[in-house]
Amino acid sequence: MDDDPKLSAAGARLRQQTPTLDPARIELAALRRRSRRAVGAALVAIVLLGAVGAVALTRDPGEGDTASPRQLPPRTSDVEKVLAGLGSQPVDPTKVRLVSSVSRFGDCSALIGDLRKVGAAHVGSQGFGAWGVGPLWSGRLSGFAYAESSRSMPDVGPVGGDDALDLTPYAPTGDTIGTNVQVVGVDELDSVKAEGVLIYDLDGDGNLRITDSRDGTVLSSLDVTPRHGEPDEHPEPSASQILVADGKVAVFGNEEEVAEPVEGDPSATRASTSYLTVTLVDAGDPAKPAITDRVRIEGGLVSARLVDGEIRLVTTSNMADLGFVMPTTPNSVPIALEQNRRTVATSTEADWIPDWQRDGGDPTPLVPCDRVYVPDTFAGVAMTSMVTFPMGTGSFEPKGTSIVAPGTTLYAGLDTVAISSEVWVDPIDRERLEFDDWKTAIHRFGFADDAAPAYEGSGVVEGSTVGQFAFGEVGDALGVVTTSGTPWSQDPEVGVDLTLLTADGEGTLAETATVDDLSDGRGAVTAVRFLDDRVLVSTGFFGRQTIVLDLSDPAAPRRAGGVVLPGEVGYFHPLPDHRALLVGSRSDTVGSGQSERTRQWVQVHLLDVSDVDAPKVLATWERPWSADDVGADHHAFTYWPSRNLALWGLRDTQDGRQPNHVAVLSTDGGLTEVAVPTVSEAPEVAPPCTPIDVSAEVRQLVGSDGVVLRCDDRSTKEVTWPRYECFRVDDATVARYAPGEEERGAWFACSLTPKPHASRVLVVDGAPILYTDQTLERLDPETFASTQVTYHPNRGIGW
């Protein structure tokens, strides 16, 4: 194609008008980010990179900038030595073979020196392809100074000791059941918890609420999200999940820090940096909870567990704040590659080791350098850290160990944690490259009293892990179920393997037994559960085959029997006497022609696996026009062991605004429907402001069930009205449809909310409590009829 003279002239004018991008400014911006420890997705797009050239951006220490030893870059000669040893292209991930060995270094200099070399060999023309950590969690360039916040930390009174309050009024007389968990005794994160007669939850607006379940009274609401600077200067912080024990609450959230763009670069992006926040609350007096400590940790939350009063926290952080550049033309690719390699080669200790920071305090390394383990196969630039701290002290007192690998999947038992990681592949290359022999590394850590997590060893398994339930402990071995191929593969017909790994005492998880291709290469995995000396795996076409693996002899596990079901299994729940509940779904079609519709069913099977070679379905229950969340969120399921009852919420899938329900099934001697109560709406109350009659034109906009309200106070920003969701209407829109009325007050358009859905069925003090996005509803424990409905809005279950 011939050059267009007009486009050429326009390009020339653009180059003349655009300031030349000074490479030194890129380095300066990166150094600023490092000094402020804003570890985020700071990717600077290079415009006219071809005119920049390959400029060395290294600096010797002592050139005038003041920095801590952790922030000082290496000598120029060391940088050039690293760069001289690199090939013309980054390491090809298809040629990388995972190994189970790791290295450990005696000091920070040796550790960071090794990471510079490995990182520079793998970084690409677009950096490491990291776009922030997380979804959970996000910070401030101005530092972690809560004293400057308009909502500073409240005064903290005594915790425990002689001043501890009498909690007798809140002691339960009946069963209170915690969150449904994978391993008994290992509590998991959720946005709502029950203890005694109290319900603790996050309302979605950054507040921790404590509610008396007996009458639905909110005893207190505590803001647990700090805010900094001017309004709208930074994204709002959030609080998403909690752990609760003995009147103490740990709140996990995030805050986000936004950096300034690189000066002189008109296309520079603003870095967005994620921080995990941990807020500790003493709720010994439920009516007056107090924040006792709050810290932020670089990176994002993988998960957290609570075991015997100790929190085990797993975080991951990356190096995306190094000032990587991105090419905008094919000719700029090699220049961007050279610049990014140089950036990694000049990285510092502070770039690799995540910090944690308390209100008003200095950043502190989360782990010491001599407790960082580096896999001998590069698995990515993420630093995954396992940190323990006591719940009861009300203070964040971390002891940590890290491994340089992304935390893909986490399994947590009573005495062990295992994480999986894979060879790092840039997301932009995942569809382009082919991997014939994909493997996953498994790293195992153990725990002992008053000690940091101990690295026990690493192993390698074929294929990719398939979620936390694909892990289980079999005696001293760790069992892992994997599917062949990459984790991003969408192939529905793959092989499924079981591998048992045992620590050899010398840093290796040795493969001691396997069961290969237990699905005969015909299906991905939809559910897994380790049950004592058995494993249940749902696989095959649409997950309709449940296979039983016999682990009674861990040295020789075998595929035993199986059953074929009419639908997919999404979740296995263990029951006594080698039985299990299989919660899943199926679908069929009803009607014909224009009236043909797909009908969804929730389906539950009671499976007996006492004979591993001849498992049998004892009973089946199903409900049409229904769906549930159990397969995607096992916390949505509740089992009441003293009553042999399974309880969980159901969504109605028929057209129209139909009510939702809750399944209550008995597993005592079979599988029996006890009740399917309807989830009630919030109590109906009068509108908070004056309802206004509207024209036919406006009625068409707000809908037949919509209501327009006018509040006399024009400063009203939002209104709360049970059963309705209301939005402020701007003055221009009001003036368009009702000229002159915009000055008469604040106008709101309100529409009916969807019917409440029971995202959790709590058992608190012997009574079932339906926790929905709008209400708390108490049911009679015998008839399961509604006895009390309280308006209790929240923005939905956290992730």
What are the sequence ranges of the domains in the chain? Answer: 146-298, 526-676, 690-752
State the DSSP H helix or E strand holding residue 115, giving kind and residue range, or none if neither: helix 108-122
pLDDT band for position 433 (cuts 50, 70, 90): confident
Least confident stretch, 132-141, 442-451, 521-530: 132-141
Q: What are phi and psi of 653, to 5 degrees?
A: -110, 10
State the DSSP H helix or E strand holding residue 560, giving kind and residue range, or none if neither: strand 558-564
- pTM of the predicted structure, to 2 decimals: 0.86
Nearest to 430 by CA among 375, 485, 381: 485
pLDDT band for position 324 (cuts 50, 70, 90): confident
Question: Quick check: 276 and 254 in contact, CB under 8 A?
Answer: yes
pLDDT above 90 for 17: no
pLDDT digits (tens, 9 = 90+) for 272-292: 678 999 999 999 999 999 999
CATH of domain 526-676: 2.130.10.10
pLDDT at residue 130, rounded to an integer: 45
pLDDT above 90 for 306: yes
pLDDT digits (tens, 9 = 90+) for 64-108: 444 566 767 888 889 999 999 998 888 877 776 666 678 899 899
State the DSSP H helix or E strand holding residue 16, giving kind and residue range, or none if neither: helix 5-17
**CA distances from residue 218 to 197, 520, 581, 618, 776 in whole angstroms, order as listed:** 12, 55, 35, 44, 11
pLDDT at residue 263, rounded to an integer: 67
**CA distances from residue 390 to 248, 384, 385 in whole angstroms, order as listed:** 11, 20, 17
pLDDT at residue 262, rounded to an integer: 62
pLDDT at residue 227, rounded to an integer: 64
Give dist(CA 323, CA 340) in Å, integer.
8
The residue-averaged pLDDT of 28-39 equals 45
Residue 526 buriedness (CB in 10 A; 0-12 / 13-18 / 19+): buried
Give dist(CA 412, CA 312) in Å, integer.
9
pLDDT above 60 for 8: no
The residue-averaged pLDDT of 255-264 equals 72
Q: What are phi and psi of 83, to 5 degrees?
A: -65, -35
Least confident stretch, 428-432, 656-660, 737-741: 428-432
List CB contacts of 230: < 8 A, sequence separation 6 or more.
none
pLDDT at residue 231, rounded to an integer: 54
Residue 1 buriedness (CB in 10 A; 0-12 / 13-18 / 19+): exposed
Least confident stretch, 164-173, 180-189, 535-544: 164-173
Provide the 8-state DSSP code for 532.
T
State the DSSP H helix or E strand holding residue 442, giving kind and residue range, or none if neither: strand 439-446
pLDDT band for position 768 (cuts 50, 70, 90): very high
By three-state DSSP, how is residue 121 classified?
helix
Nearest to 295 by CA among 394, 200, 222: 394
Beta bridge partners of 307: 310
pLDDT at residue 798, rounded to an integer: 41
pLDDT digits (tens, 9 = 90+) for 499-541: 999 999 888 999 999 999 888 877 778 999 999 899 999 987 6
List CB contacts of 312: < 8 A, sequence separation 6 or more.
304, 305, 306, 386, 387, 388, 412, 417, 447, 453
The residue-averaged pLDDT of 8-18 equals 47
Residue 305 CA, chain-centre distance (Å), reads 13
- 487-491 long-range Cβ contacts below 8 angstroms, 24+ apart: 487/408, 487/422, 488/430, 489/464, 491/524
Share of the chain above pLDDT 70, in %: 80
Cα dihedral value 222, 227, 230, 235, nearest 10: -120
pLDDT band for position 494 (cuts 50, 70, 90): confident
Nearest to 554 by CA among 530, 577, 538: 530
Provide the 8-state DSSP code for 371.
G
- How would you label 502-523 residue by residue, b for 16+ Cβ within 10 Å and e otherwise? bbeeebbbebbbbbeebbeeeb
pLDDT at residue 42, rounded to an integer: 34
pLDDT digits (tens, 9 = 90+) for 182-224: 999 999 999 999 999 999 999 999 999 999 999 999 999 999 9
pLDDT above 80 for 59: no
pLDDT at residue 63, rounded to an integer: 44
pLDDT at residue 540, rounded to an integer: 76
**CA distances from residue 769 to 198, 660, 762, 789 in whole angstroms, order as listed:** 11, 15, 5, 10
Question: Quick check: 526 and 543 in contact, CB under 8 A?
Answer: yes
pLDDT digits (tens, 9 = 90+) for 594-619: 889 999 999 999 999 999 999 999 99
pLDDT band for position 148 (cuts 50, 70, 90): very low
Q: Report which of residues 45 and 241 the model is more confident about.
A: 241
pLDDT at residue 280, rounded to an integer: 97
Beta bridge partners of 239: 253
Residue 324 CA, chain-centre distance (Å), reads 26
pLDDT above 90 for 320: no
By three-state DSSP, how is residue 36 classified?
helix
